[in-house]
Structure 1
Amino acid sequence: MVNANEWLYEKIPVNQRAQATNLYIYRQCQSGHTVHQYNCNNCVNKTNCSTAPTFQFYGILLEGELDLNDFVNLQQLYIYGTGQNQDQQQKLTSLKIDKCNKLERIAINYNSTFIYNLFGENDSNFNRIKSQVDRLTSIIRNVKGVNLSDLKLAAKKIEEENLENQLVNTKNKLNEDNQLWLELLLETQQEVLQNDNAFARKQLEKVKKRLSKVLTAEEIQDFLGKKVEINELEIELNNLKIQESQND
């Protein structure tokens, strides 16, 4: 685990940050292994990063504050952990993006420490996400009267809101035919998640190939990833309900 700002200073020079439009930070390596799996070369003090405008880093665990205010043209930010265990989660406590006025998409997945000081007030997207953060903060402050199901349900609703917002924004850039393909992508992904079979996966690949003409691979994967997150939260909620009913 490394200090987030020290890591950033080492990996991306200040004079390159204004050129960046996409920043991806993954707990896993490209092969899907987590950092502690030393049999994977990507997990042993190695990262993969492309040059601006897209930077990608794998096998990274960050802690503390991450100041991205030099990334004035940043449009997409993804910071991913990989699971419920503490050693699989990011540990950021503060994310500074007040000057990232072009930021359209942000995803922070499996961060074990509540992130505060997130956003300024000068953008509707920031205000929307800040409102979501405020809702979670309210729940956390009243934790004595809240169970884990409440937190999971709030997180699920936020993920659904983010997906819907992203869907609307993306549809506005597409013609009617491609809008239907995008809806089909999400429907097919849901089918794969609920009834994993060869036919559904084959259909999903066809839809992804069709959409690749109008969306980047990162945009497509982001939609799929959000559906996975919502599905995982739904499963966790159902399991919690079963446990609660058994304890009654």
Structure 2
Amino acid sequence: MVKAQQWVNENFSSQENKDKVKKLCIRLKEGTNKIDQSNYEFFNTKLEGELDLNGFKNLEDLAIWGNWTSTLHPITNLKIDRCSKLQKLEIDCTSFDKLNLNSNQKITTLIIRGCINLQKIEGLEQLSNLQNLNLWPSNSVPNSKLQISLSQNNWKPEIGRIKEIQVLKEKAQQLKELADIILPNITFDLDKLKQEIARLRLNELVPQVQKKKSELEQQINNTKNSVETSFKKVIDLLLETQKQIITGKKDPLVQAQFTGQLNAYLSILEGNLSKQELQALLDKKTELIKMEEQIDKLQRTKNKN
């Protein structure tokens, strides 16, 4: 038996050697060591004490194997909090009493078997990228010491719930940061933040709407000047019907009636105006209506008590 850290120093004496390692497997049973470029598999390796792998910054796959629960691997602690690239971790029949995964958020596969002394896995609930969790799948020795909220049956929905909570926390933090920018030196208040954002957006949007409205009026006048007097009223009816379709009731029958009227007006005008001209008018009208609706909504938010 050799001290775990002594073994690391002897087999990976330089940082360059450690940087090469992407996959590391340490086995207690007999066998022949296998080293293939970035993959290292050691057999008949009995280590004791703490195994500190924080120098292995490119490590992606780590496995430590004992030899059934009757012969646990003597390693008592594992330090991998700086192994930020670690994606797969397999721990089988070791002497760990706790495992810290708080800094290993990229783990997608976690397999833990036969660790009968394991009492706590810190950070398990934070593994938002976890795709495969395997805890004691074929172990006949009951582990009453391990206390975790995730199990073989519930981990997927639980991880999903945790992800949602993390997203909400991130959004809340973003709101607070935004509030600090817009309303400095004021205690965070979501309603005040909404009102201030609405005010700023109105200052930006109102001049744009005024410009769009002026452009549309000019376009309508130009279009009317290009047709006979009898068709000018039809242009007004066309645009008013377009407004009713956008802002009116969403009842299918009502919408169908307005759509029929719109198509009728288009048919009347198409003898004097091109489809492109008519569509351009409708598009401009639609854009203006939606911007005016946005202004109304912002005004309500700004004036909300």
The TM-score bracket by the shorter chain reads 0.3 to 0.5
Q: TM-score, normalised by structure 1?
A: 0.44
Which structure has the larger Rg over C-alpha atoms? 2
